[in-house]
Amino acid sequence: MLKLSILQITKMHFQWDWLCLRVLIISSVTAGMRNKENLDADVEVENFDKQSQEADVDRDKSSIEVVYQTPKPTGEVYFTETFDEGLSGWVLSVTLKEDMDDNVAKYDGRWEVEELKENAMPGDRGLVLKSVAKYHAISAMLTKAFVFDDKPLIVQYEVNFQKGIDCGGAYIKLLSSSNDLNLEYFFDKTPYTIMFGPDKCGEDYKLHFIFRHKNPKTGEYDEKHAERPDVDLKKYYLDKKTHLYTLVLKPDDTFEILIDQIVVSKGSLLENMIPPVNPSKEIEDPTDKKPDDWDERPKIPDPNAVKPDDWDEDEPAKIEDPDAVKPEGWLDDEPQYVPDPNANKPKDWDEEMDGEWEAPQIPNPKCETAPGCGEWVHPMKNNPKYKGKWRAPMIDNPNYQGIWSPRKIPNPDYFEDLHPFKMTTVSAIGLELWSMTSDIYFDNFIICSEKEVADRWAADSWGLKKLVASANEPGMFSQLVTAAEEHPWLWVLYILTLALPIGLSVLFCWPGKKSDEYINFKKPDVSKQITKGEQKEETEELEDNELEEEKENEDTGEDEGREIKFKENLLFCFLKNAGHSLNIQIKNSSQAAYFKNTSRNIFYLYSCNTVFSCN
Give the start-to-end residue ranges of the domains of the chain: 77-278+424-471, 511-614
- For the segment 256-273, the average pLDDT, to the nearest whole number, is 97
Measured distance CA(205)–CA(243) in Å, rounded:
15
* The amino acid at 481: V
Q: Which of 240, 292, 231, 288 is nearest to 263 (CA)?
A: 231
Q: Which of 428, 359, 542 is nearest to 193 (CA)?
A: 428
Give yes or no for a cis peptide into 275 (omega within 30° of 0). yes
How large is the C-alpha radius of gyration of the chain?
42
**What is the reported pLDDT for 147?**
98
Measured distance CA(288)–CA(291) in Å, rounded:
9
- 3-state helix/strand/coil string of 256-283: EEEECCEEEEEEECCCCEECCCCCCCEE
Task: Report whether 188 contacts 432 (CB < 8 A).
Answer: yes
Instruction: Give alpha helix (H) positions in 461-520.
Output: 462-471, 476-486, 490-509
Residue pLDDT, tens place only, 58-105: 444 444 567 899 999 999 999 999 999 999 999 999 998 877 777 778
CA end-to-end span of the chain: 23
Neighbour count for residue 530 (Cβ, 10 Å)? 11
Instruction: Give alpha helix (H) positions in 427-461.
Output: 451-460
**What is the reported pLDDT for 511?**
57
Residue pLDDT, tens place only, 323-371: 999 999 999 999 999 999 999 999 888 888 889 999 999 999 999 999 9
Averaged confidence pLDDT in the chain? 80
Residue pLDDT, tens place only, 287-331: 999 999 999 999 999 999 999 999 999 999 999 999 999 999 999
Task: Report whether 261 contacts 37 (CB < 8 A).
Answer: yes
Task: Report whether 134 contacts 440 (CB < 8 A).
Answer: no
**What is the reported pLDDT for 324?**
93
Residue pLDDT, tens place only, 455-512: 999 999 999 999 998 888 776 766 777 777 777 888 888 888 888 778 777 776 765 5
Task: Report whether 80 contacts 88 (CB < 8 A).
Answer: no
Say what percent of the chain tops pLDDT 90. 61
* Greater pLDDT, 488 or 256: 256
Measured distance CA(341)–CA(42) in Å, rounded:
81
Q: Which of 561, 542, 541 is nearest to 553 (CA)?
A: 561
Whether domain 77-278+424-471 has CATH 2.60.120.200: the reply is yes
Task: Report whether 462 contacts 244 (CB < 8 A).
Answer: yes
Residue pLDDT, tens place only, 163-204: 999 999 999 999 999 999 999 999 999 999 999 999 999 899
Measured distance CA(470)–CA(41) in Å, rounded:
18
Look at the alpha carbons of 33, 207, 462, 41 in this order and tell me if their dihedral is positive or negative. positive
Measured distance CA(479)–CA(450) in Å, rounded:
38
* The amino acid at 173: K
**What is the reported pLDDT for 130?**
96
Instruction: Give alpha helix (H) positions in 31-86.
Output: 53-58
